[in-house]
Amino acid sequence: MSPEFDAIRLEIYWNRLTSIAEEQARGLIRTSFSTIAGEMEDLSCGVFDAGGTLVAQGATGTQGVLTGLSMGVKEMLKKYPAEKLAAGDVMIGNDPYLFCGHKYDCCVATPVFLKDRMVAVVASVLHVPDIGGAAYTMTSESTFEEGLTIPILKLFKKGELNQDVVDVIDANVRIPQEVMGDILAMVTANDIGMQRLVEFMEEQSLSDLDGICAAILSTTERALREGFATLPAGTWRSEAFMDGVDDMLKISVALTVKGNDLTVDFTGTSPQTRRGGVNTPYTFTLAYTALSIKSALVPYIPNNDGFYKVFNMIVPPGCFLNAIPPAPIIHRQLVCRPIAAAIFSALAKAVPDKVIADGGTPTMQVFYGTDNKKAMFFQALISSGGTGARPNKDGYSATCFPANIGTPPVEIIENVSPLLVAKKEFVTDSGGPGKYRGGLAERFTIKVNADLPATVNSAIEGIKTPAQGLMGGMAGMAAEATLDGVAVPGKGKYVIPPKGEFAFSMGGGGGCFAPAERPPEAVLDDVINGYVSVESARQHYKVSVDPVKRAINWEETRRLRAA
Amino acid sequence: MYRAGNDIGGTFTDTVVINEETGEWTVGKVLTTPTDPSVGAMTGIGAVLEAKRVKWDTVSNVVHGTTLVANTLIERKGSKTALICTRGFRDVLEERTQKRYDLYDLLFEVPKPLVPRYLRKEITERLLADGSVLVPLNTAEARQIAEELKREGVESTAVCFLHCYRNADHEHLMKSVLEKACPGMFVTCSADVVPEIREYPRESTIVANAYTGPLFSIYLSKMDDQLAAKGVGGYLYLMLSSGGITTSGVAKLRPVYALESGPAAGAIAASFYGELKGFDSVLSYDMGGTTAKMCLIDKGQPSTTKEFEVARVHRLKAGSGLLIHLPVMDMIEIGTGGGSIAWIDKLGLLKVGPESAASEPGPACYDKGGTEPTVTDADLVLGYLSAGYFLGGKMPLNLPKARAAIEERVARPLKIGVPEAAWGMIEVVNENMINAIRVYASAKGKDFRAYTIVAFGGAGPVHAYNLAQKLGVEKVLVPLGAGVLSALGLLMAPFTFHLVRSYMSPLDRVDLGQVNQLLKDMEKEGTSLLQQAGVDPKDITLQRSCEMRYIGQRREIEVRIPSGVLSAADIPAIETAYNNEYKRLFFRTYPGYKLQCLNWRVVATGPRPKVTLKRFPSGRHTIKAALKGTRQIYFPEFKGYRDCPVYDRYKLFENARIEGPVAIEERESTVVIGPGGHAVTDEYLNLLITVGGK
């Protein structure tokens, strides 16, 4: 802690900066134009010092965009250092390799001036509803097919909108009003953050954020290193698998703790995929590596750049966790789950009480077509699987992890598109059995209530690689996709005939510890509520339940558990 | 004749009885009786009446505020409740939004659904987004479900179908089947209580209504009977979260409307004082034992919002509670009150709250076994409170214990002195409030510096001056009797009914026939509810609004719309009103983007009851007569303690001027004014404080 910021001053300033970023994020949610931002909240906002170091971030958002934004702002300042920026300038960019890993995440940054001097940057990122190209394609062989790349540009110059940039975006996307509306919403959000930040600095007579930034970063770093020091010294290795597009992909990880240093080494991970975009850039791998470590060891520290500095990450270029441009990269979000799973299963060998089991993959399906009034529709639906069981409690059903994105209300979907949601319900027995049970998967059944067919670009992960259990817990149900009742591979483009039906599920969470250790009363409760079937209770949990009497057959249960 | 206001809080039940002719009022405090709160309520009212030698039958009506509904949810003491929903959707209640409220906490928890999955029954029926019927309700299934619920011993049932906000027929049909098959069961339909789009918030709300319904209606019936037996002729009225009042008859069917009745009453009282003093913009600041509540009030009208959470697992984390989607006074509540505990977090930073020492064991200075340093302990150490005059001297405070707690838990770990540690606690508390109020005010596009703070609650007057200084607010008003202001607010609230219907359409293609019909229906319903409550039709105000957004946006802005039959000529004005409001909030508009209407609202309001305050004659005295003595008080301007005068508030008179630094004591609270500031009393002994420069 630097001498000029005692514990009280630091607490007060830190809180204030975090609340400014949060205010910015609330403003962005209110003014955004798409379901993805407004209902699902796939966005993030941050306050940076003049050098581009992230000082504080709002609590809203997912780690992928949180980290991507932080890395991206530094790139923006490389192209436009302070001397090339003026009050009223606003920068924009979406290069997937520099920012958040896919082009939908557009970043907008506004330099903040105080008495003619640049003192800070406020920035926002948001997943725009379309970026052109073959939306969510599974066939792209390079990122050029994945839509429009916006290089780092000035969207506003001294307060004037750069119409050339707008025209290029408008000409490349399917729903320009929503896309530009979302981008301008970020400009508005940044204005809110800027206004508050200037007020704060004037009130506290601060001429820059350098001191507070250094104090926040060093406090974060110290706490993290103290967290690492609680780990026993040694190396833990693990692997996690995912379906990929054509071939299954493997993540290899080795965690090495030496004193209060931590190294995460992904050597041995599968090479980058040629087709379909299940690859991540360095920033995205860093994001979910940091999230996994932070969640397990120091969940209470607010996010800032202190995190990315304290551990060492080795990820060989050319593997699918550090793809080399122009490899396709659009489905990078499918990779966050196996990264967390690999790190947690390695950490489980050192600190089993601090990690959770693997869960279902949150993903996005995009439906598009023409409704009966001949209007085009384009609707993204996010759904999540069950989360993995925790070391002391069950996982949650249909809950997003490690990303954090909401599901859109059924009534909104049906008001803005000809899609009809036929069912949205938990699947019995989909949670991995364990002393603590994995969360249940949800099955989402979509019908097309129009005279014309609709198309879905589907990106379902985990059909071949269900969420694994931990420490004796069992795997959750695998993900699935069906078209009119017939199973289809989860990744691809499907045409849903009029009145036809597309159903999908993201899979259940893995269990923790052996299912036969689950108290029979908890199993009975699960059976009564339909989370677990009578058959599974008997087969996996070794509990005999009479569903009519809602009672445990104790004698038989003892016999089953003794065997 | 008299009117009585009675506010049941966690610890105390406050009563105010007011003489309708003279405006003179009397207050009383008794302990809350948690097992049967009506006992405390009746005792409390009775005690004040007795003290005034007033008979029960001269009481024309009673207005009641209660935390009963909130406590039923927090303590999970409601009825055995079922939910009937559209086939395929019984898990909406449990999956919530699918988002986690904390990005990193792997062990996070959300409240369990109020209805377990086996009591969430699906029925075959389906409406489309326009309200048309895709699949008719299967009545044979409905009867079968009713039989099952009866067998299960279900006491209360919520009915919530998809798109019912456009067509209530299926829900009503289901209700009639249940009422026939299960006499005595409490049945509540989402289309009647919260007819708004978005299934999860609606379902969460209607389930809470069902869960609390039976208990609340039994409780209110009991109050009705007891009051009638005492000879009280008028109705029992309930304060609603929105700041309006309604009859116990209506409240029995909609308990969730009364969830936040106590805090709402406080904001109403603050608006009253704002109007009395001619302040257009008031920031009400109510700081009690465990929380502080703040509300921005413009032109005597506290604004309402339509969503809040109750029973949060993490008090400060949005998303960790039960979602209630209903009009509620738009205020912020933060977990810092007099009992909030100071602690050092894992990063070595000083934090205060949200843990509270409550009344048991209480702050260390209560000397009832508490060892954690609280805000009240800091107030005592800094000289803001007097050890000998807490609650008018009824409860002596232990200064050495307060000092020891702060020394051990804050000063020593941070290697600073005790006064600096105590002052640090106050600074952190103020900063918590400032951060909360910034986010809150900016969402409303308001600049709080232009507001006058009205401070009340036990701890409000102690901290208001410093908070105002930090916020950049110039004036603070501390009403006389600030400690029981919420109960007084109960007597100042008008009858109000909030009605809403969802009809989603682009503004330029809106079916005006349909809009006029639904506005007319709502206005008719509001008027009839007010008339049932005894309001004269000529005193009824109807206010219409529509929540709109640019097409594609997911959050709406509420815009007033004209009265009377709407025609195409009104549309451009509505569009302009929206754009003006949007620009005020978000700096820009979107020319060429079309607008979409979502929810249509009508607020039907009766007249505001008249309350006059007792005047205190201007003094022949000088303020010397009110001087109790001096004591050492800490102010940051002095970086330490100074000997400061202490005044007795009850001995002040109209137009007395008091210079800071100073403490002014009354029974329920103490007003602290820093150096450079001063206060002037008005004819009601309210203190109007002017904040000094930094």
- The reported pTM is 0.89
Q: Which residues of A125-139 are buried (b: 16+ CB within 10 A; e: fewer)?
A: bbbbbbbbbebbbbe
End-to-end CA distance of chain B: 49
Backbone angles phi, psi at A329, to 5 degrees: -150, 5
Range 452-511 of B in CB contact (< 8 A) with A: 472, 504
| Among candidate residues B628, B559, B565, B620, the one with its CA nearest the CA of residue B595 | B559
DSSP state string for B615-651: P-PBPSS-GGGGEEEEEEEEEGGGTEEEEEEEEEGGG
Average pLDDT rounded to a whole number, residues A244-270: 94
| Both structure tokens of B615 | 């005047």
| Contact assignment for B346 to A300 by CB distance below 8 Å | yes
pLDDT classification of A2: cutoffs 50, 70, 90: very low
pLDDT at residue A554 tops 50: yes
- Number of A–B residue contacts, CB under 8 Å: 213
pLDDT at residue B458 tops 80: yes
Identify the weakest region by mean pLDDT among A252-266, B300-314, B553-567.
Answer: B300-314
pLDDT at residue B581 tops 60: yes
Nearest-angstrom CA–CA distance, B175 and B510: 32
Nearest-angstrom CA–CA distance, A129 and A136: 11
Laid out side by side, the sheet with B541-550 consists of B496-506, B595-605, B541-550, B557-560
Nearest-angstrom CA–CA distance, A433 and A479: 16
Minimal CA separation from B486 to chain A, in Å:
30
| Contact assignment for B443 to A219 by CB distance below 8 Å | no
Average pLDDT rounded to a whole number, residues A230-243: 94
User: CB of B633 within 8 A of CB of B642?
Assistant: yes
User: CB of A372 within 8 A of CB of A451?
Assistant: yes
Sign of CA dihedral B195, B196, B200, B206: negative
| Both structure tokens of B476 | 């603070």
The secondary structure of residue B127, as a DSSP letter, is E
Q: What is the CA radius of gyration of chain A?
A: 24
C-alpha separations of B146 from A100, A243, B667 in Å:
52, 46, 56
Q: Around A156, how many Cα atoms within 13 Å sit in the side-chain half-sphere?
A: 19
Neighbours of A475 (CB within 10 A): 21
| Among candidate residues B126, B122, B127, the one with its CA nearest the CA of residue B145 | B122
| Contact assignment for B552 to A41 by CB distance below 8 Å | no
Nearest-angstrom CA–CA distance, B136 and B86: 11
| Contact assignment for B100 to A400 by CB distance below 8 Å | yes
Range 354-373 of A in CB contact (< 8 A) with B: 354-356
Cα B492 to the center of its chain, rounded Å: 15
Q: What is the CA radius of gyration of chain B?
A: 26
C-beta pairs of B168-175 under 8 Å, 24+ apart in sequence:
B168/B192, B168/B195, B169/B133, B169/B137, B170/B125, B170/B127, B170/B133, B170/B137, B173/B137, B173/B139, B173/B142, B174/B84, B174/B123, B174/B137, B174/B142
Contacts of A409 in chain B (CB under 8 A): 197-200
Average pLDDT rounded to a whole number, residues B630-635: 96
User: CB of B206 within 8 A of CB of B193?
Assistant: yes
Nearest-angstrom CA–CA distance, A5 and A15: 13
Question: Helix B169-181 crosses helix B139-152 at what angle (to 10 degrees)?
Answer: 50
CA triple B76-B82-B85, angle to 5 deg: 130
Cα B428 to the center of its chain, rounded Å: 24
User: CB of A421 within 8 A of CB of A414?
Assistant: yes
CB of B116 within 8 Å of any CB in chain A? yes
Neighbours of A402 (CB within 10 A): 28
B270-297: pLDDT as tens digits: 999 999 999 989 999 998 877 788 999 9
| Contact assignment for A406 to B586 by CB distance below 8 Å | no
Nearest-angstrom CA–CA distance, B253 and B193: 9
Backbone angles phi, psi at B13, to 5 degrees: -110, 115
DSSP state string for B238-307: EE-TTS-EEEHHHHHH-GGGGTTHHHHHHHHHHHHHHHHTT-SEEEEEEE-SS-EEEEEEETTEE-EES-
Q: Which residue of A has its CA nearest to B471?
A: A203
Task: Report the helix count and the strand count for chain B, using DSSP H and E.
Answer: 17, 35
Q: Which residues are paired to B186 by β-bridges?
A: B156
Q: Which distant-in-sequence residues (6+ apart) come within 8 Å of A404 by Cβ? A: A41, A61, A62, A63, B99, B100, B103
A200-229: pLDDT as tens digits: 898 888 999 989 999 999 988 888 888 888
Average pLDDT rounded to a whole number, residues B415-440: 90
| Contact assignment for A406 to B99 by CB distance below 8 Å | yes
Q: What are the E-state strand segments in B406-486?
A: 452-456, 475-478
As a dihedral over the C-alpha atoms of residue B201, residue A398, residue A337, residue A331, rounded to 10 degrees, the angle is -70
Nearest-angstrom CA–CA distance, A348 and A391: 10
Contacts of B344 in chain A (CB under 8 A): 7
A76-87: pLDDT as tens digits: 999 999 999 999
Of A349-358, B334-343, B478-487, where does the model show the most confidence?
A349-358
Average pLDDT rounded to a whole number, residues B126-149: 97
Question: Helix A282-297 crosses helix A336-347 at what angle (to 10 degrees)?
Answer: 40
pLDDT classification of B620: cutoffs 50, 70, 90: low
| Among candidate residues A377, A267, A386, A363, the one with its CA nearest the CA of residue A318 | A267
| Both structure tokens of B472 | 């950049």
| Both structure tokens of A264 | 């995460």
Residue count of chain B, please give it. Answer: 694
The secondary structure of residue B538, as a DSSP letter, is G
pLDDT classification of B315: cutoffs 50, 70, 90: low
A165-201: pLDDT as tens digits: 999 999 999 889 889 999 999 999 999 999 989 988 9
Which amino acid would we find at residue B170?
H
User: CB of B131 within 8 A of CB of B183?
Assistant: no
3-class state of residue A71 by DSSP: helix
Sign of CA dihedral B288, B291, B295, B300: negative
Average pLDDT rounded to a whole number, residues A353-374: 91
| Contact assignment for A414 to B555 by CB distance below 8 Å | no
CB of B140 within 8 Å of any CB in chain A? no
**Mean pLDDT of all residues belonging to chain A:** 93
CB of B135 within 8 Å of any CB in chain A? no
| Contact assignment for A34 to B554 by CB distance below 8 Å | yes
Contacts of A38 in chain B (CB under 8 A): 553-555
Nearest-angstrom CA–CA distance, A493 and A485: 16
Average pLDDT rounded to a whole number, residues B618-624: 76
Question: Judging by DSSP bridges, how do beta strands B186-189 and B156-160 pair with one another?
Answer: parallel
Greater confidence (B10 vs A131) lies with A131
pLDDT classification of B392: cutoffs 50, 70, 90: confident
pLDDT at residue B137 tops 90: yes
pLDDT classification of A4: cutoffs 50, 70, 90: low
Contacts of B586 in chain A (CB under 8 A): 27, 30-31, 188
B24-65: pLDDT as tens digits: 888 887 777 878 889 989 999 999 999 889 999 999 889 999
B225-240: pLDDT as tens digits: 999 999 998 789 999 9
Q: Environment class of residue B494 by beta-carbon count within 10 Å: exposed (0-12), middle (13-18) or buried (19+)? A: middle
At A203 the pLDDT is 80
| Among candidate residues A80, A135, A74, A77, the one with its CA nearest the CA of residue A102 | A135
Q: Environment class of residue B389 by beta-carbon count within 10 Å: exposed (0-12), middle (13-18) or buried (19+)? A: buried
| Both structure tokens of B392 | 């008018």
At A1 the pLDDT is 42
Q: Which distant-in-sequence residues (6+ apart) come within 8 Å of B673 by Cβ? A: B465, B658, B660, B661, B662, B663, B664, B679, B689
Range 29-88 of B in CB contact (< 8 A) with A: 87-88
At A437 the pLDDT is 98
| Both structure tokens of B514 | 């349909």
Contacts of B197 in chain A (CB under 8 A): 409, 411-412, 415
Nearest-angstrom CA–CA distance, B98 and B132: 29
| Contact assignment for A33 to B552 by CB distance below 8 Å | yes
3-class state of residue A290 by DSSP: helix
Backbone angles phi, psi at A191, to 5 degrees: -60, -40
| Both structure tokens of B510 | 């809106």
A480-517: pLDDT as tens digits: 999 999 999 989 999 999 989 999 999 999 999 999 99
Of A91-100, A221-230, B361-370, where does the model show the most confidence?
A91-100
Nearest-angstrom CA–CA distance, A384 and A508: 9
| Among candidate residues A136, A80, A137, the one with its CA nearest the CA of residue A111 | A80
